[in-house]
Amino acid sequence: MIEFNNVSKVYKEVKALDDVSFTVEPGSVTGFLGPNGAGKSTAMRILTGLSRPTSGSATVLGRPYGQLDRPAYRVGTLLDAGAQHPGRTGREILTLGAIVLGLPRSRVDDILDLVGLTARQGRQTVGGYSLGMRQRLGLGHALLGRPEALVLDEPANGLDPHGIQWMRGLLRDLAGSGCSVLLSSHLLHEVEQVADRIVMIGRGRVLAQGTVGELSGGRGLEQAFLDLTAHSGRSTA
């Protein structure tokens, strides 16, 4: 389970998050939906221990991330696919991750196959990868430890339509196995297709949350989101 309890974050005089609360249940996918700059990445950084909240708390599997036993094994994260070392091969990056987690090197072959990277692509340096390939590699790294929770920031960026469809199926399979999946995006259609529940955020505040049907109210999810962001005083442009 993933929980945000009244989380606020203030940078100097700017309130990046304002009393954010929601829950991601085991065996479900929650879409964290909002325009760029809405506060999604800040919330995920707090959840994974990279930033401290000004007030409130964020927990995963019942504890703050930093207090978990072997957190990188139990919680898979993809926050920035571009952060991978460009001079290393995809296989080297996954191998280093497997060593840190105490996993056999055979896990690397399993992961390359799972995320659709060929053996040849695994031998290429990441500097030569497309953004879509980096996303696949980053997702593979997040899945090395067979996590109980997944935290993914804009994972569909750079994926072609086939890759997006593949990712949806993978996330649904992971949720079906009991994993709690938090997926952030600014793309309405992407979230609508895969999420059990959606949390809409704008200007650091939760504007609405619920199932697609509950949020759309017969108007369609896109119109509902446009109405909410307009009411919050922020354009989605």
- Tell me, yes or no, whether 54 lies in a domain: yes
Q: Does residue 118 form part of some domain?
A: no
pLDDT at 234 over 50: no
In a domain, 14, yes or no: yes
pTM, entire model: 0.89
Which pLDDT score is estimated for 224?
63
pLDDT of residue 230: 64
pLDDT at 108: 97
What pLDDT digit, counting tens, does each position of 116-157 carry?
999 999 999 999 999 999 999 999 999 999 899 999 998 888
Looking at residue 148, its pLDDT comes to: 97
Q: Is the pLDDT of residue 175 over 80?
A: yes
Q: Are 48 and 79 in contact (CB under 8 A)?
A: yes
Estimate the crossing angle of helix 90-101 against helix 106-114, to 10 degrees: 120
pLDDT value at position 219? 56
Residue 124 forms part of a structural domain: no
Give the structural domain span for 71: 2-85+151-232
pLDDT given at position 232: 56
Residue 59 lies in a domain: yes
pLDDT confidence bin for 217, thresholds 50/70/90: low
Instruction: Tell me whether residue 165 is in a domain.
Output: yes
Query: Domain holding 66: CATH number?
Result: 3.40.50.300
As a residue count, the chain comes to 237
The whole-number pLDDT of residue 49 equals: 95
Please check the confidence at residue 111 and state whether its pLDDT lies above 80: yes
Task: Tell me the mean pLDDT in the region 219-226.
Answer: 63
Q: Of 62-66, 83-87, 110-114, 187-191, give the lowest mean pLDDT range.
A: 187-191
Over residues 39-74, the pLDDT tens digits come to 999 999 999 999 999 999 999 999 999 999 999 999
Q: How many domains does the chain have?
A: 1
Q: What pLDDT does residue 236 have?
A: 35
Residue 224 lies in a domain: yes
Label residue 18 left, alpha or beta by phi (over 0 means left) and psi (-120 to 50 means alpha): beta
What confidence score (pLDDT) does residue 25 get? Answer: 96
Residue-wise pLDDT for 192-214, tens only, equals: 889 999 999 989 999 989 987 78
- Asked if the structure places residue 36 within a domain, the reply is yes
